């Protein structure tokens, strides 16, 4: 199989701010794997928080290119080989995993969700994320996102309560979840969550630092709202460690290394009685659609990375009345926009 890759520059419609910084664009990488005249697509959306950037992805992919063998259906052994030649580099691995799955679907002429044995009608709603900004801008964005019945609001500012109040005013019926991106110390998190709970929130994502499992447990024991781990739960091996400190986990293809690893994580999480949300980085419709094909298995989705883009070159999964609508073409079912 032939692996090729190229930079994929994604520009955000508006600057996107979370507790640890602002992004204006994403320097992703588009991957193609060719076999017998068919081509599978994948995407890497590297995150510096997890030690990757476009440079590391390009180096990893160059390292992987001679390691794929000839059989796209041998995904497990191919991924084991990639893990052997290079540790970590999960976004680069996710891109290869996605392209192999796209290829398998195209060879068999079935969409990915069918390959996974899933019911398209069971895809959940996705949230639409409101980044940190001034009160006015956040309220305006929440109102403009009227087509999305579920909002995810980024918190961790000096006045989250005022922000939630204005958002709740303009969106009285929305389901609202919040994400602190590790911004709070445990005691501060408990106080903040107790105050914010007055605005009828669904759950809180990552209140405290990634490595602070004691803090996470303390927050959960004292929180009126369910707590989800994102930065504290990267791969399947993290799940037993966080299981008694949270109510749910956030799985992202770019954190764990692709669809196979995400599927493992879903099963491990279920075995620990945890809720599951599928999340994303800033990604085009290639990466977002890949994750969406697993979404019938999870409780919540936060697959809006493509919705925040000015220039998504691809189209695949759609959102109707907030619900993810999976494409029915073979594999990922993703096409170049305008085709
Ligand atoms: Mg998060």
Q: Of residues 43, 102, 133, 230, which has the active-site annotation? A: 230
Buried b (16+ CB within 10 A) or exposed e, 314-325: bbbbebeebbbe
- Residue 338 confidence (pLDDT): 85
pLDDT digits (tens, 9 = 90+) for 250-264: 999 999 999 999 999
Quote the ligand 1 centre to 229 CA distance (angstroms). Answer: 8
Q: Of residues 152, 252, 255, 315, which has the active-site annotation? A: 252
Quote the ligand 1 centre to 118 CA distance (angstroms). Answer: 25
Q: Of residues 106, 141, 152, 154, which has the active-site annotation? A: 154
pLDDT digits (tens, 9 = 90+) for 196-215: 999 999 999 999 999 999 99
pLDDT digits (tens, 9 = 90+) for 228-247: 999 999 999 999 999 999 99
Residue 152 DSSP SS3:
strand
Asked if residue 339 has pLDDT above 80, the reply is no
205 is catalytic: yes
Q: pLDDT grade, residue 318 (50/70/90)? A: very high
Q: Is residue 245 within 8 Å of residue 217, measured between CB atoms?
A: yes
As a whole number, mean pLDDT of residues 329-336 equals: 98
154 is catalytic: yes
pLDDT digits (tens, 9 = 90+) for 63-102: 999 999 999 999 999 999 999 999 999 999 999 999 999 9
d(CA 57, CA 52): 7
230 is catalytic: yes
Quote the ligand 1 centre to 181 CA distance (angstroms). Answer: 6
Asked if residue 117 has pLDDT above 90, the reply is yes
Report which of 33, 28, 36, 89 is spatially closest to residue 54, judged by C-alpha positions. 28
pLDDT digits (tens, 9 = 90+) for 283-305: 999 999 999 999 999 999 999 99
pLDDT above 90 as % of the chain: 99
As a whole number, mean pLDDT of residues 318-335 equals: 98
d(CA 143, CA 171): 7
114 is catalytic: no
Hey, which residues does 300 pair with through a beta bridge?
Answer: 277
Q: Enumerate residues with CB within 5 Å of ligand 1 (an ion).
A: 179, 205, 230
As a whole number, mean pLDDT of residues 129-133 equals: 97
- Residue 103 confidence (pLDDT): 98
d(CA 83, CA 123): 31
275 is catalytic: no
């Amino acid at each position: 199989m032939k692996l090729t890759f190229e930079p994929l520059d994604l520009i955000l419609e508006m600057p996107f701010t979370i507790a640890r910084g602002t992004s204006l664009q994403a320097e992703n990488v588009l991957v193609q794997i060719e076999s017998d005249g068919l081509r599978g697509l994948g995407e890497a959306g590297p995150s510096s928080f997890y030690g990757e950037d476009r440079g590391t992805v390009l180096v990893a992919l160059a390292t992987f290119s001679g390691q794929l063998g000839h059989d796209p259906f041998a995904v497990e052994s191919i991924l084991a080989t990639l893990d052997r030649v290079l540790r970590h580099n999960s976004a680069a691995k996710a891109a290869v995993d996605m392209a192999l799955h796209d290829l398998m679907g195209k060879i068999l002429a079935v969409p990915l969700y069918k390959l996974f044995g899933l019911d398209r009608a069971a895809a959940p709603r996705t949230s639409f994320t409101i980044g940190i900004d001034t009160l006015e801008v956040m309220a305006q964005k929440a109102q403009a996102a009227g087509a999305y019945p579920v909002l995810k609001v980024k918190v961790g500012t000096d006045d989250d309560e005022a922000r939630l109040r204005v958002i709740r005013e303009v969106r009285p019926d929305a389901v609202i979840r919040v994400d602190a991106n590790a911004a709070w110390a445990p005691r501060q998190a408990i106080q903040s969550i107790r105050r914010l709970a007055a605005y009828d929130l669904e759950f809180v994502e990552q209140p405290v630092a990634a490595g602070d499992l004691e803090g996470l447990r303390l927050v959960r024991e004292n929180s009126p709202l369910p707590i989800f781990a994102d930065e504290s739960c990267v791969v399947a091996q993290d799940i037993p460690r966080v299981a008694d400190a949270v109510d749910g986990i956030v799985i992202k293809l770019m954190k764990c290394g692709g669809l196979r690893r995400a599927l493992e994580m879903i099963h491990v999480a279920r075995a620990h009685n945890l809720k599951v949300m599928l999340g994303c980085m800033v990604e085009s419709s290639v990466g977002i659609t890949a994750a969406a094909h697993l979404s019938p298995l999870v409780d919540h989705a936060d697959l809006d990375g493509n919705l925040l883009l000015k220039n998504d070159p691809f189209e695949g999964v759609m959102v109707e009345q907030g619900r993810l609508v999976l494409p029915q073409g073979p594999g990922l079912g993703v096409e170049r926009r305008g085709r």
